[in-house]
Amino acid sequence: MTTRLIRWLLVLLSVVAYQGLLAEYLCPGGIGLRYDLLVVFLAGLIGGAARGAIAGGLVGFITDCLTPNYLGWGMMVNATVGLAAGMSRDRLFLERAAARWLVFAVGIAIHEIIYLLPVSGFDPSLYGKTLLFDSSISMAITSVVGTAVLVTRQAWRRPVTGGTSVNSPT
């Protein structure tokens, strides 16, 4: 229990460090890896709906505190998307990398569609431009990185096959 709590705290601190210190330099203009969404989706797809919602709420709260223009909006959207990611894990067959990529891409697109409404000031031209160009590039990068993380995690967790076992009748 304490190791799990320590891991969560380290992940949240990494989100704070990335958003507060590195995102400005690594993602000029906000275009690039969306580490906060990556953490939320990985928590949902690995841990289930409850962990996804909790991680989304915590990460959303942290990012809202870093940019408090719309306090609570990011928390609500991230918690909802984390819950949806966890529910997709429970209800979909996500064994292939393409299915995982599709869940990431659709989830990030839904997040951006909902999150950008008040941020763009409900201006249709700014909303469309931001969604079409900036968000689509970030969506592609984040979904590819997330899929690579999940595929790598699955490869490490897969049992080694081949050879003979101690209990096998040979």
CB-CB contact of 110 with 152 (8 Å): no
Write out pLDDT tens, residues 124-163: 888 888 888 888 888 898 999 999 998 898 888 766 565 5
Write out pLDDT tens, residues 14-69: 888 887 777 777 776 667 888 889 999 999 998 899 999 999 999 999 888 877 88
Q: What is the dihedral of CA 31, 35, 40, 42, to 10 degrees?
A: 110
Domain spans of the chain? 33-157
